[in-house]
């Protein structure tokens, strides 16, 4: 079918054949289709939506537009599994989850991204570590996954190349907020990793990517079903992002917190609860545990024995970082010149947090980016962030700001005070504080 005829059919609300979608997407990857036609296609999809069959076809075509990894030639003794998140503030789950699940016997080739907007990026956090190479040669990546169990790297140009062009056009044509296009974009890249199973973490709340709770639910259902129908069994969890997930946000500060979690020092924290639930789902999906109880036992042993932390350390070393990073991380990680405690204007309990505003505070400190080509300062950020329901006063600050200079620290302090709502010390925090961290689970349907 001619590209313009495919666009016309979708513009008029028709359903596209899988072969036509595949040919169109391959034309994008081969540069035979221009940006104007991509823009017309994405707008037609945005306005008219897609059937389930169309989204599966779009996802698999995006996946197959470049190199699709294979692991069968390595004779791995256990399944290849992964997790993906829609992103948030203080969401350092991947840093802990990958090594933890690998220590339980899984193989985790995790392709991650950089931060954009108010959300942090896993690659930016790892680049806080001197020497860490987020773009190793393919054979080195495969070797690290086989020998260590996990490698967390960035997307290479040959993985789902059509998605890069489509996303660039969506970004400038107001077609980003389309569930079919978001689903195909996320899964096209993720499924190109050659996974046996996938677990998806979809955020809901003031720091979530999707604008409403219903949209987050719709995306979670779409991803679980489409990935499963594309041949990769997938479970999606809807998790709370009404406040920063960890008590910190930034790059080096999140590496420090990750090491504390891997050492078992924060067993009941919000970030650890979410990470544990995702890890359970990964072990079940990878048939490394038959029941939830077995999965929890494996995870507890891997943490208590130090095996999870050791896997993290080996991964860092194998990808070019210091061999003694686990023991001497404070020596290697950058530290901001200025640290400022931000106290509330009046004592009281934290009632609500504008999580997106907290994330933008980190961006304005220099710890994030609004453009893909922007450079960042890995040393800046926030730590000791107060949680909803926590008492703050002249002894317990809202957070600690890590900044490049005093002026930047003061600006961040004002932004933070504006982002946090404080109530009477004797009042109850709003209901959001007691909402379950794991709000819903969606297991993908294959038909």
Catalytic (active-site) positions: 82-85, 122, 170, 185, 189-190
Q: How far apart are CA 204 and CA 440, in angstroms?
A: 11
Distances in whole angstroms, Cα of residue 193 to Cα of each of 86, 128, 306, 432: 17, 25, 28, 36
Q: How far apart are CA 127 and CA 323, in angstroms?
A: 15
Q: How far apart are CA 120 and CA 100, in angstroms?
A: 21
Strands 399-403, 438-443: parallel, antiparallel or unpaired by DSSP? unpaired
Nearest Cα to 175, choosing from 88, 184, 117?
184
Burial letters 77-114, b for 16+ CB under 10 A, else e: eebbbbbbbbbbbbbbbbbbbbbbbbbbbbbbbbbbbb
Neighbours of 12 (CB within 10 A): 9
CA torsion sign, 141 to 104 to 196 to 257? negative
Taking only Cα atoms into account, the Rg of the chain, rounded to an integer number of angstroms, comes to: 22
Nearest Cα to 91, choosing from 336, 385, 317, 298?
385
Q: How far apart are CA 228 and CA 444, in angstroms?
A: 5
Nearest Cα to 48, choosing from 175, 171, 168, 165?
175
Tokens found for residue 70? 């294979």
Q: How far apart are CA 376 and CA 339, in angstroms?
A: 18
Complete DSSP assignment for 176-237: ---HHHHHHHHHHHHHTT--SEEEEEEEESTT-SSSSHHHHHHHHHHHHHHHHHTT--EEEE
Q: How far apart are CA 130 and CA 126, in angstroms?
A: 9
Q: How far apart are CA 202 and CA 439, in angstroms?
A: 10
């Amino acid at each position: 079918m001619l590209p313009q005829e495919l666009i016309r059919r979708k513009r008029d609300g028709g359903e596209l054949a899988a072969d036509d979608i595949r040919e169109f997407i391959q034309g994008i990857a081969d540069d035979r289709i221009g940006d104007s036609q991509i823009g017309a296609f994405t707008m037609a999809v945005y306005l008219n939506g897609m059937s389930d069959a169309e989204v599966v076809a779009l996802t698999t075509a995006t996946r197959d537009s470049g190199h699709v990894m294979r692991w069968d030639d390595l004779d791995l003794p256990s399944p290849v599994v992964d997790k993906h998140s829609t992103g948030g503030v203080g969401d350092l789950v991947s840093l802990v989850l990958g090594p933890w699940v690998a220590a339980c016997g899984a193989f985790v080739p995790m392709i991650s991204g950089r931060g954009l907007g108010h959300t942090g990026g896993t690659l930016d956090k790892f680049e806080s570590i001197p020497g860490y190479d987020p773009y190793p040669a393919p054979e080195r990546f495969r070797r690290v996954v086989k020998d260590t169990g996990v490698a967390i790297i960035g997307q290479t140009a040959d993985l789902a190349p059509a998605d890069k062009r489509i996303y660039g056009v969506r970004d400038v044509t107001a077609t980003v907020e389309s569930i079919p296009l978001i689903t195909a974009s996320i899964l096209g890249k993720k499924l190109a990793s050659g996974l046996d199973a996938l677990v998806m973490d979809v955020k809901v709340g003031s720091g979530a990517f999707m604008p409403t709770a219903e949209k987050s639910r719709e995306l979670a259902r779409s991803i679980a079903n489409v990935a499963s129908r594309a041949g990769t069994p997938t479970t999606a969890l809807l998790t709370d992002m009404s406040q920063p997930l960890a008590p910190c946000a930034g790059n080096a500060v999140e590496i420090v917190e990750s090491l504390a979690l891997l050492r078992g020092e924060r067993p009941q924290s919000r970030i650890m609860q979410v990470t544990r639930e995702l890890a359970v789902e990964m072990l079940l999906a990878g048939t490394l545990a038959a029941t939830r109880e077995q999965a929890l036992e494996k995870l507890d042993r891997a943490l208590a024995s130090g095996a999870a932390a050791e896997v993290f350390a080996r991964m860092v070393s194998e990808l070019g970082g210091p061999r003694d990073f686990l023991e001497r991380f404070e020596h290697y990680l950058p530290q901001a010149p200025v640290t400022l405690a931000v106290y509330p204007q009046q004592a009281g309990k934290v009632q609500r947090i504008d999580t997106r505003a907290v994330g933008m505070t980190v961006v304005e400190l220099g710890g994030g980016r609004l453009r893909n080509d922007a450079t960042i300062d890995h040393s800046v950020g926030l730590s000791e962030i107060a949680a909803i329901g926590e008492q703050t006063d002249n002894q317990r600050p809202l957070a600690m700001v890590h900044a490049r200079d005093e002026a930047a620290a003061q600006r961040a302090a004002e932004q933070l005070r504006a982002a946090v709502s404080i109530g009477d010390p004797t009042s109850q925090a709003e209901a959001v504080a007691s909402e379950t961290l794991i709000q819903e689970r969606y297991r993908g349907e294959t038909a």
